[in-house]
Structures are given as C-alpha cells and as structure tokens.
C-alpha cells in the first residue's frame, strides 16, 4: 500500500481525491493532508510517504487590474512553494511527486470563431502572470526528476463537477435561469473530477512519471453543456442560432464584452491522441457527469 500526502488542505481537487481513494482504492492507497498556509508544514516528516501530491496554489485570477504585490503573491505560492515542496520531497526520500499544472500555460482560448487545438508539440506560451506562475512551477519541478525521484506533471483542461469553482458554476447558473441560449459550434476539452481522480490513482499506483494531458473522452460544446445542465435541473431552455449574431458582435467589442464572449464560446482543446494512455480513466461520460454534478 502506498502512502500519499496531499500538500494543500481543503482544496476541491485534494478533498475530491481523498474521498475517491477512500471509496475506490482504500486497499492500495492511504491519504493524509497537510495545510500549507503557515510554515508548520516544513517540520512535517515527508519520508513517511511514497507520494506527495501538490495541489496548493492560487487559481482563477482576475487579471484585469492587479497590483505588483498581488502578482508577486501568485509567483510565491504557485511557483516558489511548489518547487520548495518538490525539493523537500526529494531530499526526504519520497519516491514520486505529483504536480497539478494547467492548460493555462498554453495561453488563452482562441477567440470566438477561431480554432485552437493543442498537441504534444505545442510550446507553452502563457498570456498572463497567472499562467506564467504555473508554467515556471511546471518547469521547475520537472528539473528535479532523476532515476530515484519520479515527477508527474498533469496539465488538465477545465475541471468540473459537483462543488467545483471557476467557470462551470457560472455556466450552471445561466443554464438554470435563461430561457434561450446561443447555439455556437465551439470545441472545448474538459475533465470531470471523478475521471481526474481515477487518473491520479492510476499514475500513483503505477509510479508513472512525465507530462500528462488527461481530458474527457469527448469534447464539449458550450451550448450542448448548457442544455444538459438545464435538463438535469428540470429547467426548459431553448438552444438557438437566432442570437448568434449578438455573440459575434460582442466578440469584437474591446474589453469585457469580447472577454466574456470568448471565454464562453472560444475554442481550446487538446488533441485526443495525447490523452490516451495504457490505462483507462474516463469511467464517466459527459452526460452522466452533468447529472452527477447537478444532483
């Protein structure tokens, strides 16, 4: 049985993974958690663990008007803390370090009407300090890998599920209130939380190292997801192309209108070939994941 230490208490991913292991893998993995807010974690003995799973970080940045002090905080937490934790793990004999990077390192989604498909050859190019803070950590922890220390980096797309934060709850609220929603043909890679937890369990049990791009087995279209959320919630919504012209106009208005239109209807996907491995992790399909998320 492998012992896993989650560095970062009360995070959505950390708590979800701990619960998932308890339900599905309690004979193969045990999970402890340490809070990273104060400095007491530095006194904890990491040598007791086979795997350190680092989830501590600051996400969902409002990059509009941010002070230099705030930017420094992102680098201190997302970059410096991650690398320090990885160093401590290596120094104290931990066999595997698992780091949650993000698709944000590849920059923003493509604007409305344009395609953005990421492949293994796509070079990361963060568009803001938040993405760069994750990218610097992504590079920094991988530099510490050697024959005796496995570093596993995940670069997932948007993660969603019951209780998740970020864009999904906003989309869910819209789906439950609006009578009509634009029918835009966009394409998104997403990752349901249970599929992520299964992926994590597999790479830890197997001791897999390197860079990974887990995603759902099917791409998501925003209007399709909104319709599924509405159906799961018992709300009637019409998805129609009648108002697509409004989205098109909004996408060309500088500032908040364009940002919102591109955020909701832009394109950002991983090539499916880069997310296929020699183990299965997509146990929950898109429609079922929506039902579970809205239950």
Using CA atoms, how far apart are residues 117 and 270, in angstroms rounded to an integer? 6
Low-confidence ranges of the chain (pLDDT < 70): 60-64
The pLDDT score that the predictor gives to residue 64 is: 65
Q: Which of 169, 149, 167 is closest to 158 using CA atoms?
A: 167
- Number of structural domains the chain divides into: 1
Output the average pLDDT for the chain.
93
C-alpha atoms less than 13 angstroms from C-alpha of 110 in its C-beta half-sphere: 14
Using CA atoms, how far apart are residues 109 and 158, in angstroms rounded to an integer? 11
Domain assignment of residue 38, yes or no: yes
Domain assignment of residue 274, yes or no: yes
pLDDT digits (tens, 9 = 90+) for 259-293: 788 888 889 999 999 999 999 999 999 999 999 98
The pLDDT score that the predictor gives to residue 23 is: 97
158: β partners: 190
CATH classification at residue 199 = 3.40.50.720
Using CA atoms, how far apart are residues 268 and 215, in angstroms rounded to an integer? 12
Domain assignment of residue 239, yes or no: no
Domain assignment of residue 140, yes or no: yes
Domain assignment of residue 154, yes or no: yes
C-alpha atoms less than 13 angstroms from C-alpha of 92 in its C-beta half-sphere: 19
> What residues contact 238, with CB distance under 8 A and at least 6 apart?
179, 180, 181
Domain encompassing residue 39: 2-164+190-217+269-284
Query: Which uninterrupted H or E stretch holds 167?
Result: helix 167-177
Domain assignment of residue 119, yes or no: yes
Query: Which uninterrupted H or E stretch holds 261?
Result: helix 256-265
Angle between helices 129-142 and 82-91 (to 10 degrees): 10
Domain assignment of residue 182, yes or no: no
Domain assignment of residue 60, yes or no: yes
Secondary structure E strands in the chain: 2-7, 29-34, 51-54, 96-100, 117-118, 150-154, 158-160, 180-182, 190-192, 210-212, 238-240, 269-270
**Token pair 């087995």 in the structure block, residue:** 217
pLDDT digits (tens, 9 = 90+) for 109-137: 888 788 899 999 999 999 899 999 999 99
Using CA atoms, how far apart are residues 145 and 76, in angstroms rounded to an integer? 21
**Percent of the chain predicted with pLDDT > 90:** 78
């Amino acid at each position: 049985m492998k012992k896993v230490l989650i560095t970062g208490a009360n995070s959505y991913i950390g708590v979800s993974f701990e619960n998932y292991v308890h339900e599905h893998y309690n004979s193969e993995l045990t999970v402890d958690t340490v809070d990273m807010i104060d400095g007491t974690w530095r006194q904890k003995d990491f040598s007791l663990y086979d795997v350190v799973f680092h989830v501590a970080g600051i996400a969902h940045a409002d990059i509009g008007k941010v002070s230099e002090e705030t930017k420094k905080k992102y680098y201190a937490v997302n970059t410096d803390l991650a690398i320090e934790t990885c160093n401590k793990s290596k120094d104290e004999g931990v066999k595997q370090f698992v780091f949650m990077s993000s698709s944000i390192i590849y920059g923003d989604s493509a604007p409305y009407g344009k395609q953005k498909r990421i492949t293994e050859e796509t070079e990361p190019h963060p568009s803001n300090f938040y993405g760069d803070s994750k990218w610097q950590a992504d590079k920094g922890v991988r530099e510490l890998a050697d024959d005796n220390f496995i570093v596993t980096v995940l670069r997932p797309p948007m993660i969603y599920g019951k209780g998740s934060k970020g864009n999904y709850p906003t989309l869910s609220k819209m789906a439950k209130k609006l009578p009509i929603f634009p029918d835009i043909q966009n394409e998104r890679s997403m990752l349901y939380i249970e599929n992520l937890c299964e992926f994590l369990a597999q790479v830890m049990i197997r001791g897999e190292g390197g860079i990974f791009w887990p995603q759902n087995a099917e791409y998501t279209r925003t209007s399709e997801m909104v319709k599924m959320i509405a159906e799961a919630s018992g709300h009637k919504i019409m998805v129609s192309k009648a108002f697509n012209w409004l989205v098109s106009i909004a996408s060309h208005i500088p500032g908040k209108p364009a940002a919102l239109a591109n955020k909701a209807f832009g394109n950002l996907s991983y090539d499916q070939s880069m997310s296929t491995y020699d183990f299965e992790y997509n146990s929950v399909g898109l429609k079922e994941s929506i039902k579970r998320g809205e239950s």
